[in-house]
Amino acid sequence: MTIIYSETEASLSDDVCVQEVDALMEWLLSHPEGRINLKLCRHLHLAALQSLMCVKRPVTEWPDDPGLRYWVEPALSKQEDHV
Amino acid sequence: MNPLLKQFVSESRDLIQSISESLLLLEKNANTRDTLNELFRLIHTLKGNTGLFDFPDMTHVLHAAEDIMAERRDVEAPWEQTLTDLILEVMDYLSEFCNQLEITDGNPVSDTVMAHQLAGQLRGFSLSAQPPASVSDKPKKKPAARKSRKKTDRPEEPAESSTTASFTESELIRAWFCSGNESLLHLVYTPASDCFFQGEDPLYSVRQLPGFVAGSLSFQGDGAAAEGFDPFQCQTRFSLLTQASETEIREHFRYVPEQIELTPLAEELFPVLRGDIQASAVSEETADDLCKAAEQNDSSKLMALTDATLELLNPDLKVAAALRWLKAATDASDTVRQQRCLQELRDLLQLPQWTFAEPAAPVAAASKSDSSRNLRLELARDDEDALQQILTTQKRLLEKDTRDVWSAGRIASAVNVIRNALIAMQKDDDLRRLDSAMEQALQVQPAALAAELDVLTVAADVSPENTVSATATPATVASTADNAQISDDAGDDTDDEESDDEEINDHAMADDTVPVVQHVQKAADITPAKTSAELNDNLTASVQSGSSRSVKVDQEKIDRLMNLIGEMVVAKNALPYLARRAEEEHGLRDLGRDIKEQFAVINRIAEEMQDSIMQIRMMPFSFITMRFPRLVRDISRRLNKNVQLMIEGEDTEADKNIIESLAEPLIHILRNSLDHGIEAPEVRRKAGKPAAGTLTIKASQEADRVLIEIHDDGKGIDPEVIKQKALEKGLIDDAAFQRLTNREAINLVLIPGFSTASEVSDLSGRGVGMDAVRCAVEKVNGSMALDSEAGKGTRIRISLPMSIAVTRVMIVESDNQLLGIPMDQVLETVRVPATDIHTVKSIQTTVLRERIVPLRSLNNLLAIDASQRMNEDNECAVLVVRVGIDVIGLIVDNFRGSADIIQKPMTGVLNGLRAYSGAALIGDGSVLMILNLKEIL
C-alpha cells in the first residue's frame, strides 16, 4: 500500500498506481475534511491526480520529488481559489 | 498463482476459444448480426476481465479489437478475411500471454511492442479513419494562478498565440533561452478518455518527455460534483514545451500518435508580452538609455537600469513584461534577442524604432565571473520567490525554542525542506554548505543553521531585479521579510503559498511525534478488514450474476476421488471373503448371510459412485475438435487448398485422459490429410472431383469403446509407392515386397521411420509421421487402422477405450499365481484337447475355426520352470489374444473370470519389469500383476 489513510489525512508515498485510485476516491468522499500529504510521493498516476484535483482538498505537504511537485503543486494549489 | 488469476487464465482460454469459433462462423455465414453481436460480447467480456489485473498490453490489444467489433456491429460493412486473420493472430498472442501467466506465476513478460503493433493494425481496420474523439476541443484557459493578470486583458488586443497561452511568463522566458537556436516545440497531449484502461499513465509519459522545458495541465473535470466524478475517465490535457526534436517526440508518443499535436514555436512569437498597455509608462529618455546601454554591450548598466525602471513600474503593465524579457536576454548575453526586446519596448511606448550600431566590446564582464550568482540569475523569478518564502518560513521555525525535545527533529525537517528546495533550484554549492551546517546545528548549537539560513536567504534574494540593492545590503531578518513582501507584490500569486508553507512546516514538526505511528497502525488495522469486506461483496455479486451451473474443478481433485473410489471398490470386494470365513471357519451362517446382504447394498452404492465419478471425468469429443476448424482453415489457406471440414458426433464422451491423448494424433492426421491427401483445386477439378475437398471426422460410441474415423476424399495412398519406399528404406525385404497385399502395404506407413513425403514441409512429413500417431493411440490402449484407395481418399479408424481409469481384465491362473490380461486383447477362451495340439516347425499350434493359431505356454514365456496343468478331461486352457495383428493362443492353467480393476503403474525398481504393465489390488487384498502381452510375446 502506498497510501496510508487516517481520519484526517491521506499520506501518499512512492508510486501511487491506478489500482489505488478507487480506495483513494472512496476515502476522499467519505472524509470531506481530509487533507492530503504528498511528501513521500514520487509519482501519482494521473487518475489519482484527477481525483485530487476534483475534490479540492488542502495539501499539507508537497512532494519531495521536484519533478512531481512541478506538476501537482500548480494543479492542486490553484484549486484552493475555487474553494 | 492466486485463485483469481487461475480462474482468469482458464476463463480467458475459454473465451479465446469461443472468439475463434465465432470468427470462423462469421466467415462462413458472412455478416450475420447475431454472430457479430456475440463476437463483440465475447471480446468485451475478455477485455473486462483483463481489467481486474494489471495487464496493460492485453487490455490494450483487446480494447482495439473491441472498438473494431463495436463499429462492425453498428455499421453494415463487408467482413474482410484479413480481419479474421488479424483477430485470430491477436487470439494467438493472448493465448501465449495466458501461457506466460501460468509459467511465470502471474508475472508475464509480455511483448509490448507486439501488443501495440497488433492494436495498431486493428485500428487500421476502423471504418472511420478519424482518430478517437478527444476529450474536449477547447483547452481550458490559463490556470487560475494567473487569473489576476488575465482579468486585465483587454478584449480588443490581438489574442495571444494559443500555443503559449498556457505557460507562465517565467516558463516562457526560460523556454526561450533554454532552446538557444534550436526551435522549440509546443505539444498538446490529449490522452484518450479511456486511456487508463489501456494501462497508460499520461502523467508518467509527460514526466518522461525528452527535452522537457515547461508544461501545464488543464483538468476538465474542474468544478464537477465530486460524487459523480469518475476518476478513470481521463479528463486532463497537457500543454508542453520541449526542445527535443519532432522525431524524438513522435518516438516518445509512438503508441498514441493520434493524441498529440505538435506545433513548432516560431522565434517570431517571442517575446510574449502580457499586460496592460500604457504608452507613457516609461519616459523616452529611459528607453533611449536602455538602447544605448545595449549598444555598448554594457550588461551591468543595462541590468541596473532595467531593475530600477521595473521597480517603479506596475508589474501588470505590458511594458514591465517587455523589461523582464529584456532582463532575461541581457542575462543570457543574447544581444540579438536583447535588441528585439528593446524594439518591442519602443513599440509599446510608441517610440520610433532604434537603429542599433555594431555592439561594442563588452565592458562589464565582471557580472559574469561569479558562476553561482550567474546560475541564480538564470533562474526564473517565480522560483526565486518560492525559495524565498520557503527559507523565511524555515527560519521562523528554527527561531522557536531550541531546548524542547523536538528540536532535533525540527532541524532535520527544516533542513530537509531547504535541501529539496535547493535541489529543485540546482544550487549544489549551497547544498553542501547546508549539510555541514546541519551537522553543526545538531551537535553544538542550533544557531549555526539559522546563520546559514540567513546567508542562503540573502543569496536567494539576489533575484535579478534586486541585484544592485541586495548585494549591497547586509542580511537581516527584517530585510528578508521586506524583500519577501516586495516579491509578493510582484509575483501576485504567492499569498496562498505562504500560508501553505506554514502548514507544511507545522506538519513537518508533527511528523516527528508519536501519534503518526498510531495513525499508521490504525490504518493498517482498517485496511485488511475493508478489503475482505469488499471481496465478500464482489463474491456475492459474482455468485448472483453468474447463472452458470457448472463448476470448474481441478483435475487433481477428481483424480483423488477416483483413487479413493478405487480403494473403496477393493475394500468392498473383501466382504464376500469375510462372509465365507464367517460361514466356514466360525460356522456363523446367519452372520455370513447378513454380511452378504450388506455387501450387496454397499456394492450397489459403490458402483453407482464409481459411475458418477467416471462421468465427471468424461469429456465430449468436441473438447479437441473445437480447435480443428481454425486449424483446417489456417493450413488450407496456407496451402491454397479449399477444404470443408465436417465434424460428426462431437458429443461422444470419453475419459478426459483419452480425449486429451487424442488431440496430438488427430492434429497430426489432419495435417497429413491436408498436406498430402487433399489436392489443390485445379488438380481436383481435372480429376473430376469438386474443387473443395472434404475432411470428415466422425466420433461414435460402440460398447465401451470410442471409434473415431477420419476420412478425406483426397488422392489416397498408392500402395505401390509405399512398398517401393519401404523397400528403399530397408523396412521390408524383397519377399515381403512381393507378398504384401495393398492393405498391408498401406499400413506400412504406421511403421516407425516411414514418411511418404519426399519433401519436408513445416506442416508434416518430418519422418515421425503416422508412427507417432500409432504410438500415442496405443499408449491409451487404443488401436488404429488405415485404409485407402488411390484417387478416392483415405480413411483412418481409431478405436479407444472409453475410460482408462478402470480396466477390465481377464484373470488367469498359472503355476498357482493369478495374472491379469487386459480384456480388450482377449478374443476368446477355449479348452483345447491335448490331442488337437500339433507341433509345426517346433511351434505348438492348433486349428481354431479353420485357422492356424500358434500356441505359447505362459509359464514358458515368464520363464517359470513348470509345465501347464490340464483339467480332468486332458484339455488345455487356451486364452486367445490379439497382439497387434497377430492372433496367439496363450496356454494357461485355468481361467478365473474377469474383474474391474484400477491399474496402478509400477514404481521404483519394478518399473523396469517390462513384462508387466502394472498391478492392481483385488478383492481378497492380494496383488494382481497385469501382463503386458506385447512385451512377452
**CATH number of domain containing B265:** 3.30.70
DSSP string, B656-713: HHHHHHHHHHHHHHHHHIIIIISPPHHHHHHTTS-SSEEEEEEEEEETTEEEEEEEE-
Is residue B698 included in any domain, yes or no? yes
Contact yes or no for B196 and A4 at CB 8 A: no
The chain A residue lying nearest B528, using CA atoms, is A1
Average pLDDT, chain B: 74
Question: What is the C-alpha separation between B54 and B101, in angstroms, rounded?
Answer: 12
Q: What is the total count of domains within chain B?
A: 7
B208 and B242 co-located in one domain: yes
Say which range, A67-81, B289-303, B430-444, has the weakest mean pLDDT.
Answer: B430-444
pLDDT in the model for residue B601 = 93
Say which range, B45-54, B422-431, B731-740, B869-878, has the weakest mean pLDDT.
Answer: B422-431
B720 and B631 co-located in one domain: yes
Dihedral in degrees, nearest 10, Cα atoms B626, B631, B633, B639:
-160
B531 pLDDT band, cuts 50/70/90, is very low
State yes or no: pLDDT of B359 exceeds 60: no
DSSP string, B150-192: HHT--TTSPPPPTTTTTS-HHHHHHHHHHTTTSPEEEEEE---
The amino acid that residue B398 corresponds to is L
| Per-residue model confidence as pLDDT tens digits over B378-427 | 556 667 777 778 888 777 777 766 666 666 777 777 777 777 777 777 77
Domain boundary among B123, B149, B181: B123
Chain B interface disruption, residue of A54, A60, A73, A77, most B CBs within 10 A: A54
Domain boundary among B362, B383, B399: B362
DSSP classification of residue B140? P
State yes or no: pLDDT of B349 exceeds 90: no
State yes or no: pLDDT of B170 exceeds 90: no
State yes or no: pLDDT of B371 exceeds 60: no
B889 pLDDT band, cuts 50/70/90, is very high
Helix (H) or strand (E) holding B307: helix B299-312
B753 and B644 co-located in one domain: yes
The three cell numbers of residue B905 are 503403474
B679 and B777 co-located in one domain: yes
Task: Tell me whether the omega of the peptide bond preceding residue B833 falls within 30 degrees of 0, making it cis.
Answer: no
Domain boundary among B307, B334, B362: B362
DSSP classification of residue A9? E
**Mean pLDDT highest for which of B107-111, B358-362, B845-849?**
B845-849
State yes or no: pLDDT of B74 exceeds 90: no
Question: What is the C-alpha separation between B5 and B102, in angstroms, rounded?
Answer: 9
The chain A residue lying nearest B508, using CA atoms, is A61
B592 and B701 co-located in one domain: no
Is residue B536 included in any domain, yes or no? no
pLDDT in the model for residue B821 = 92
Say which range, B110-114, B177-181, B437-441, B499-503, has the weakest mean pLDDT.
Answer: B499-503
Q: Are B405 and B424 in contact (CB under 8 A)?
A: no
B93 and B171 co-located in one domain: no
Is residue B539 included in any domain, yes or no? no
The ipTM assigned to this model is 0.91
Q: What are phi and psi of B820, to 5 degrees?
A: -110, 145
- Pick the more confident residue, B405 or B251: B251
Chain A residue numbers with beta carbons less than 8 Å from the beta carbon of B145 are 74, 77-78, 81
Q: Are A31 and A3 in contact (CB under 8 A)?
A: no
CA B834 → CA B844, B874, B891, B896, distances in Å?
A: 11, 6, 11, 21
CATH number assigned to the domain comprising residue B744? 3.30.565.10
- Smallest Cβ–Cβ distance between B144 and the set A58, A71, A81 belongs to A81
- Helix residue spans in B364-446 (DSSP H): 366-369, 371-378, 381-398, 407-425, 428-443
B758 and B833 co-located in one domain: no
The amino acid that residue A61 corresponds to is E
| Per-residue model confidence as pLDDT tens digits over B101-122 | 888 877 777 677 788 888 888 8
State yes or no: pLDDT of B880 exceeds 90: yes
State yes or no: pLDDT of B482 exceeds 80: no
Is residue B462 included in any domain, yes or no? yes
Q: Are B465 and B310 in contact (CB under 8 A)?
A: yes
B602 and B625 co-located in one domain: no
Question: What is the C-alpha separation between B338 and B328, in angstroms, rounded?
Answer: 8
Q: Are A21 and B229 in contact (CB under 8 A)?
A: no
SS3 call for B903 = coil
- Pick the more confident residue, A58 or B384: A58
B747 and B814 co-located in one domain: no
Question: What is the C-alpha separation between B159 and B153, in angstroms, rounded?
Answer: 9
DSSP classification of residue B767? S
The amino acid that residue B671 corresponds to is R
- Pick the more confident residue, B812 or B430: B812
Q: Are B271 and B340 in contact (CB under 8 A)?
A: yes
Contacting A residues, span 14-53, partner chain B, CB-CB under 8 Å? 17-19, 21-22, 24-25, 28-29, 37, 43-51, 53
SS3 call for B469 = helix
Contact yes or no for A50 and B236 at CB 8 A: yes
B106 and B167 co-located in one domain: no
| Per-residue model confidence as pLDDT tens digits over B26-66 | 877 755 777 888 888 888 888 877 777 777 778 888 888 88
B414 and B510 co-located in one domain: yes
pLDDT in the model for residue B753 = 65
CB-side neighbour CA atoms (13 Å) of B686: 6
| Neighbouring residues of B838: CB distance < 8 A, sequence distance ≥ 6 | B844, B845, B846
pLDDT in the model for residue B486 = 43
* Planar angle of CA A24, A28, A32, nearest 5 degrees: 170
| Per-residue model confidence as pLDDT tens digits over A7-55 | 888 888 888 888 888 888 888 888 888 888 888 888 888 888 888 888 8
Q: Is the pTM of this model over 0.80?
A: no
The amino acid that residue B440 corresponds to is Q
Q: How near does any CA of chain A get to the CA of B225, in Å?
A: 8
| Per-residue model confidence as pLDDT tens digits over B618-665 | 888 888 888 788 888 888 888 888 888 888 988 888 888 788 878 877
Chain A residue numbers with beta carbons less than 8 Å from the beta carbon of B224 are 54
State yes or no: pLDDT of B817 exceeds 70: yes
Contact yes or no for A5 and B527 at CB 8 A: yes
State yes or no: pLDDT of B443 exceeds 70: no
Q: Are B305 and B286 in contact (CB under 8 A)?
A: yes
The amino acid that residue B455 corresponds to is V
Strands (E) in B91-235, as ranges, are: 184-189, 212-219
Q: How many CB atoms lie within 10 A of CB B283?
A: 11
pLDDT in the model for residue B150 = 39
Bridge partners of B813, per DSSP, are B818, B894
| Per-residue model confidence as pLDDT tens digits over B664-676 | 778 888 888 888 8
Question: What is the C-alpha separation between B464 and B811, in angstroms, rounded?
Answer: 106
Q: How near does any CA of chain B get to the CA of A59, in Å?
A: 8
pLDDT in the model for residue B220 = 77
The three cell numbers of residue B551 are 463448476
Contact yes or no for B145 and A77 at CB 8 A: yes
Q: Mean pLDDT across the stretch B810-818? A: 89
B79 and B46 co-located in one domain: yes
Angle in degrees, 0-180, between the axes of helices B447-461 and B477-491, rounded to the nearest 10: 40
Is residue B274 included in any domain, yes or no? no
pLDDT in the model for residue B262 = 81
Question: What is the C-alpha separation between B322 and B86, in angstroms, rounded?
Answer: 58
Say which range, B11-15, B366-370, B688-692, B786-790, has the weakest mean pLDDT.
Answer: B366-370
Percent of chain B whose pLDDT exceeds 90: 4
CA B188 → CA B91, B131, B239, B260, distances in Å?
A: 35, 15, 5, 6
CATH number assigned to the domain comprising residue B52? 1.20.120.160
Distance of CA B569 to the CA centre of its chain: 46
Helix (H) or strand (E) holding B531: helix B515-545
Top CATH class, A3-81: alpha beta
The three cell numbers of residue B323 are 523589461
SS3 call for B549 = coil
Q: Which domain holds residue B856?
A: 806-936
Contact yes or no for A79 and B222 at CB 8 A: yes
DSSP classification of residue B296? T
Question: What is the C-alpha separation between B20 and B519, in angstroms, rounded?
Answer: 52
Q: Mean pLDDT across the stretch B64-71? A: 83
Q: Are B62 and B43 in contact (CB under 8 A)?
A: yes
pLDDT in the model for residue B879 = 92
- Smallest Cβ–Cβ distance between B221 and the set A6, A25, A50 belongs to A50
B224 pLDDT band, cuts 50/70/90, is low
pLDDT in the model for residue B607 = 86
SS3 call for A7 = coil
CATH number assigned to the domain comprising residue B908? 2.40.50.180
